[in-house]
Structure 1
Amino acid sequence: NDTVGVGAGIYGHESQDARLYFGDWGFDFIKIDYCGGDVLGLSEKERYTSIRNSIDKVNKDVSVNICRWAFPGTWAKDVATSWRISGDINAHWNSLKYVVGKNLYLSAYAGNGHYNDMDMMVIGFRNDSKVGGKELTPTEEEAHFGLWCIMSSPLLIGCNLENLPESSLELLTNKELIALNQDALGLQAYVVQHENEGYVLVKDIEQKRGNVRAVALYNPSDTVCSFSVSFASLEFGGKVKVRDLAKHTDLGSFSDSFEQTLPAHSAMFLRMEGDTRLEPTLYEAECAYLPLFDDLGKNPKGITYAHDKEASGKMKVKFLGGQSENYAEWREVYSEKGGRYQMTIHYSHGHQRQLEVAVNGTVTRIDRLANDDNHHQLSIPVELKAGYNVVRMGNSYNWAPDIDCFTLTKAL
């Protein structure tokens, strides 16, 4: 029954506020929370679109940040340059682990000037009563900043700058880590390996499909974690030069794999340069773009990325199909020379379901799937063009199976 603030929000005042903020005052960025939106039963898409339209009448160059405390939906890219993907961050490790976990599988929605926002950084907090007297260790802070950088989250400092420790200032001004965030490609790193408690993330930097990539080893667990990363899984051939970006140190040249043991609550950030770049053979479902995906929880059977301990990478996509718009799409399936390939699709929950696979618009319908909920695989021939190809999986009229991943093998 608190009446403080009633009528004071932007709702109902979009045009008035837009003229004041971006006309009279000349601001060019606004973060808009959804406070009260649920209580009033408002539509996220309608409200934020209305605000965007009001702002555009004053200044079309204003950057809007949607703060809905979850990935709001693919419509957000038409309204905002960034959007929050989690609840509010706090200065303790479990909070960071939660926020990073929400963003691990959202790389398909970042790029082209749009970014998943992991919230303001809590580096430099020192027993601040506003965050429950919590603070991060230097190792945790390094993981925090590096992950925000390699995942291309907006970098906003949330601490009291007057009390900023020298070690935190040094971290926040690490040019090699910042370069990952400000790289011209604007990509978000994606998970390429998840074994035991550790994650390996990778993204192209400097040049698409070039010989240089950024890699993070991330240990969110409470114990030490050992990593063995095959260079083939990173699409590198030959020798690979490795540099530690946080420590500004060249680690040497390696063959076949890179191995490292990390302490609890830590991460390592690397620049890797290989002799050659290999053609990818594995495409995980959790890296696919899902046009109907959101994380609002309003649809109990909405398409989503889901944990599955038996799946490759321990993740899959479920609740696929039911309508033609509800598909998974891989937009950059790469073939160096094009030609005939064998596509092997790993799936589960095939009982009374069908699958439609489209490669550059050419559709193959698969009606005979395993009649149980276990994990299976099937193979179909596909034709790829040289360069990037678009692959879609779904079912226009019925549920599709859960998709784990697919692999491509060049036909002999």
Structure 2
Amino acid sequence: MNRRASLILAAAIAASPAAAWAQKFDGLAATPQMGWNSWNRFACDIDEKLIRETADAMVKTGLKDAGYQYINIDDCWHGARDEHGDIQPDPQRFPSGMKALADYVHARGLKLGIYSDVGDKTCGGRPGSRGHEYQDAKTYAAWGIDYLKYDWCESKGLSAVGAYTTMRDAIRAANRPILFSLCEWGDNKPWEWAPEVGHSWRTTGDIYPCWDCELSAGTWSRWGVMRILDMQAGLRKYAGPGHWNDMDMLEVGMGMTEDEDRSHFSIWAMLNSPLILGNDLRSMPESVKKIIGRRDVIAINQDPLGVAALRFWKQGPVELWAKPLANDEWAFMVLNRGETALPLHYDWKQNVIDDQVFKHQLDFSKATWHWTDAWTGKTGDTSRRLDATVPAHGVVLLRLKKGA
């Protein structure tokens, strides 16, 4: 075959329907996805009643109006495959079927997510999608699924790029826009290849509801909030609209203190991690509802510029973080990692914030910026020193706007 014929053939292949499948769906996750997932609170103890009640609670509590939209069923929803190899939901736990459940969730203005795994079995021992990727994606599309969390258990011998790309192409071939969440735990540096494959990718192993700890299970560990934060070093440059670093699901309301919960939520907001709740929405106390529903903090996470925060100063347990926002605004976070409350007396002019990755700079000596505390609503400006007390394991989180 001559060179001209080869070029004609390549062009024909590129224009074929199969080539059109070789990309994720655009228009999803323009800002980090927001929703709820069953795993952190319920693990395998799930059924359709829980999912319906959680969808109702998301609406009733005002979380839907605050921006949360996905109700995601994690592991253990699976029954067996039928004689054709089609995956079925557990008939005891989900007797009405997934299509009816999706219809129920959609009727409330929400979206339904589901879970599978690259291997023969899921982490919970249910049927995985290996060898059934196109079949499963077609089934999910027929059910009306809107979100797929795809795990990395039973993956020995598999190529992460290959396994996740196969499911990406299967979703595309099923012809239903499904947000694709890669749960690969950061084992194969997904930030380097996943932006073309999915809408978010896990950067670490699983989270644990503690401030700064490691819960070891021998061959793997769960990590506290500070450990996960530290694992994000160098990763902000890879993320942006439609492709996000995922620091795992939120543990707000799962056993930490209120100050730790506010810090946890603030950090996820500042670093543009998806906001996927893990608590029981049906019975949460008002204190938890106020944290996860705080719209001023959510707005920082959902800012359309899509630039994650950078740490620009650290001394002892205190860290200063800044996040460029749309319309030439900024978010500013003071984090106290320490065990005691600390007084803060910050001269705004002492630092020039220089974001060399995304080319933003902030010099408080050149203009006055007005700030609003995203948690308390208190206001001030940068013409005066910032005086505050930062609680142990706590934050001060401000939104800054230039001029009057």
State the TM-score, normalized to the length of structure 2: 0.60
Indicate the SS of the match to 1:77: helix
In percent, how many aligned pairs have the same letter?
32
Counterpart among 206, 227, 230 of residue 101 in structure 1: 230
Counterpart among 26, 31, 35 of residue 149 in structure 2: 31
Asked whether 1:270 is paired with 2:390, we answer no
Deviation at 1:202, TM superposition (A): 1.1
The structure richer in strand per residue is 1
Counterpart among 151, 172, 175 of residue 56 in structure 1: 172
Report Cα offsets for 1:16-55 as digits up to 9, x if no partner.
1111012x11112111110011xx2211111111111111
* 8 Å contact kept, 2:146–2:177: yes
Indicate the SS of the match to 1:36: coil
Indicate the SS of the match to 2:180: strand
Q: Which has the higher contact order (CA 8 A, sep 6+)?
A: 2
- Distance of aligned partners of 1:196 and 1:6 in 2 relative to their CA distance in 1, 3 Å threshold: closer
Asked whether 1:138 is paired with 2:258, we answer yes
Asked whether 1:147 is paired with 2:267, we answer yes
- Distance of aligned partners of 1:249 and 1:104 in 2 relative to their CA distance in 1, 3 Å threshold: farther
Deviation at 1:105, TM superposition (A): 3.5
Asked whether 1:119 is paired with 2:248, we answer yes
- How far, CA to CA, are the matches of 2:294 and 2:145 in structure 1? 28
Indicate the SS of the match to 1:242: strand
Counterpart among 185, 201, 222 of residue 339 in structure 2: 222
**What amino acid sits opposite 1:244 in the alignment?**
D
- How far, CA to CA, are the matches of 2:126 and 2:263 in structure 1? 41
Indicate the SS of the match to 1:86: coil
Provide the alpha-carbon RMSD of the alignment.
2.3
Deviation at 1:163, TM superposition (A): 2.2
Aligned counterpart, 2:202: 84
Indicate the SS of the match to 1:103: coil
- Distance of aligned partners of 1:170 and 1:7 in 2 relative to their CA distance in 1, 3 Å threshold: closer
Indicate the SS of the match to 2:162: helix
Indicate the SS of the match to 1:99: helix
- How far, CA to CA, are the matches of 2:385 and 2:175 in structure 1? 50
Unaligned runs of 5+ in 1: 126-134, 277-412
* 8 Å contact kept, 1:105–1:190: no
Deviation at 1:162, TM superposition (A): 2.1
Deviation at 1:104, TM superposition (A): 4.5
Asked whether 1:175 is paired with 2:291, we answer no
Aligned counterpart, 1:197: 317
* 8 Å contact kept, 2:307–2:323: yes
Deviation at 1:275, TM superposition (A): 4.4
- How far, CA to CA, are the matches of 1:27 and 1:268 in structure 2? 38
- Distance of aligned partners of 1:88 and 1:171 in 2 relative to their CA distance in 1, 3 Å threshold: same
Counterpart among 278, 283, 286 of residue 163 in structure 1: 283
- Distance of aligned partners of 1:137 and 1:66 in 2 relative to their CA distance in 1, 3 Å threshold: same
**What amino acid sits opposite 1:31 in the alignment?**
K
Deviation at 1:82, TM superposition (A): 0.5
Aligned counterpart, 2:111: none
Aligned counterpart, 1:47: 163
Unaligned runs of 5+ in 2: 1-120, 213-223, 354-361
- How far, CA to CA, are the matches of 1:73 and 1:176 in structure 2? 28
Deviation at 1:185, TM superposition (A): 1.1
What pairs up with 1:6-405 in 2 under 5 angstroms? 8-22=127-141, 24-37=142-155, 40-59=156-175, 61-70=177-186, 71-94=189-212, 95-125=224-254, 135-207=255-327, 210=328, 212-225=329-342, 227=344, 228=346, 230-231=348-349, 232-234=351-353, 235-236=362-363, 237-250=366-379, 252-255=380-383, 258-275=386-403
**What amino acid sits opposite 2:281 in the alignment?**
L
- Once superposed, which parts of structure 1, at least 4 consecutive aligned residues long, lie more than 6 Å away? 3-7
- How far, CA to CA, are the matches of 2:165 and 2:318 in structure 1? 39
- How far, CA to CA, are the matches of 1:108 and 1:268 in structure 2? 25
- Distance of aligned partners of 1:73 and 1:153 in 2 relative to their CA distance in 1, 3 Å threshold: closer
- How far, CA to CA, are the matches of 2:342 and 2:243 in structure 1? 33
Q: Pick which of 104-113 and 40-49 moved more.
A: 104-113
**What amino acid sits opposite 1:171 in the alignment?**
I
- How far, CA to CA, are the matches of 1:198 and 1:80 in structure 2? 35
* 8 Å contact kept, 1:199–1:217: yes
